[in-house]
Amino acid sequence: MTDTLPTYFISHGGGPWPWLPEMRRMFANLEASLVKMRAERPKAVLMISGHWETEEVAVMSSAHPPMVYDYYGFPPETYQIVYPAPGAPKLAQRTADLLSAAGHRVHLDGKQGFDHGTFAPMAVIWPEADMPTYQLSIRKDYDPATHFAIGRALAPLRDEGVLIVGSGLSFHNLRMFGPEARVPSEAFDAWLGQALALPADQRTAALLDWESAPYARLCHAQEDHLVPLFVALGAAEHDKAERVYHDVMLRGGVTASSYRFH
């Protein structure tokens, strides 16, 4: 493959939503945006999920990753979900080598499984579960500059058939899902769209200083679901941003967006 693949930052929705009819209807617009990602036709998908945190960067290396049910209060059957996509051990090693060469401490993890930040959107994008898929952790320090640098180190994978996807949410405050989220999430989402439309150097500077955005810490009291954006954008730092999903969801309160960088 010679074409350079885009990267994505997706708002991945709530818990095991594709398996719950009411939630699936609520996320109909998100589902439509995810389905369009099938057109990329990569050799494999590298997912950076906000649900896997480590002290140093880790790369999932299992040939057959297990499942991680990292959600609470859902029906019993959602803890039996299996998304049996194959892993990508050779690409995991390649990914670790790129990170190591760039000076990052990194290790392979042969036990880590797919969390819902990966298996929920992937079940919509590739329901046949035949796309090799592996994950990269985010660092517990959440440092924006470090995660931009991680993304830069991974950029060569785009020319090697790997689709890099940051999976989080542009708004993530579990104590504020509902009408009270309308004003802060709209304001932060508007800032994000404006920041991503800036020229590359200004865009990077704006994202590094994301805490200066309106309602930043109200929308991301803990920025685990924003950090995947830094990696996805670091791998496509000079590419344009295209908003591919925008919605007001969850009882009319939360504004959320997803982006494609190409």
> Residue type for 69, please?
Y
* 145: three-class secondary structure by DSSP: helix
Q: Check residue 198 and give its pLDDT.
A: 96
pLDDT in tens, 160-170: 999 999 999 88
pLDDT > 60? residue 41: yes
- Who contacts 214 (Cβ-Cβ below 8 Å, separation ≥6)? 184, 187, 188, 190, 191
Whether the per-residue pLDDT at 83 is higher than 90: the answer is yes
Domain count, the chain: 1
Q: How confident is the model at residue 179 (pLDDT cuts 50, 70, 90)?
A: confident
Instruction: Name the pLDDT band for 252 (thresholds 50, 70, 90).
Output: low
Listed range (142-146, 174-178, 185-189, 191-195) with the worst mean pLDDT: 174-178
CB < 8 Å & 24+ apart, contacts of 202-209: 203/233, 203/241, 204/148, 204/233, 204/237, 207/144, 207/148, 207/233, 208/144, 208/145, 208/148
**Average pLDDT for residues 225-241, to the nearest whole number?**
96
Q: Centre a 10 Å sphere on the Cβ of residue 58 and count the other Cβ atoms it contains.
A: 22
**Average confidence (pLDDT) over 228-254:** 89
pLDDT tier, 17 (very low <50, low <70, confident <90, very high otherwise): very high
**Cα gap 233→246, rounded to integer Å:** 18
In a domain, 30, yes or no: yes
pLDDT over threshold 60, residue 209:
yes
What pLDDT, on the 0 to 100 scale, is given for residue 182?
A: 77
Per-residue b or e along 169-185, where b marks 16 or more CB atoms closer than 10 Å to that residue's CB: bbbbbeebbeeebbebb
Residue 139 domain flag: yes
Note the Cα 19 to chain centre separation in Å.
20
Q: Is the pLDDT of residue 78 over 70?
A: yes
Which residues touch 69 (CB under 8 Å, ≥6 apart)? 78, 79, 81, 116
Task: Tell me, yes or no, whether 2 lies in a domain.
Answer: no
Q: Is residue 233 part of a domain?
A: yes
Q: Provide the CATH number for the domain around residue 121.
A: 3.40.830.10
pLDDT of residue 73: 92
Q: Which residues span the domain enclosing 71?
A: 7-261
Residue 1 lies in a domain: no
How big is the chain by its Cα radius of gyration, in Å?
17
Q: How far from 41 is each of 2, 85, 123, 124, 157, CA to CA, in Å?
A: 13, 15, 15, 15, 14
pLDDT (tens digit per residue) in 114-172: 999 999 999 999 999 999 999 999 999 999 999 999 999 999 999 999 999 999 988 77
In this prediction the pTM is: 0.95
With residue 195 as reference, give the H or E element that holds it.
helix 182-196
- Residue 176 pLDDT greater than 90, yes or no: no
pLDDT score of 2: 54
* Average pLDDT in the chain: 93
Instruction: Give the confidence band of 1 by pLDDT, cuts at 50, 70, 90.
Output: very low
Q: How many CB atoms lie within 10 A of CB 42?
A: 20
pLDDT score recorded for residue 255: 85
More confident residue, 200 or 219: 200
Tell me if 195 is assigned to some domain.
yes
By percentage, how much of the chain surpasses pLDDT 70?
95
| CB contact at 8 A, 60 and 112 | yes
> Rounded to an integer, what distance in angstroms lies between the CA atom of residue 45 and that of residue 122?
9
Model pLDDT, residue 175? 63
Is 49 within a domain? yes
Q: How far is CA 69 from the centre of its chain?
A: 17
A 10 A CB-CB count for 73 gives: 6
Q: SS3 for 133?
A: strand
State mean pLDDT over 31-43.
96
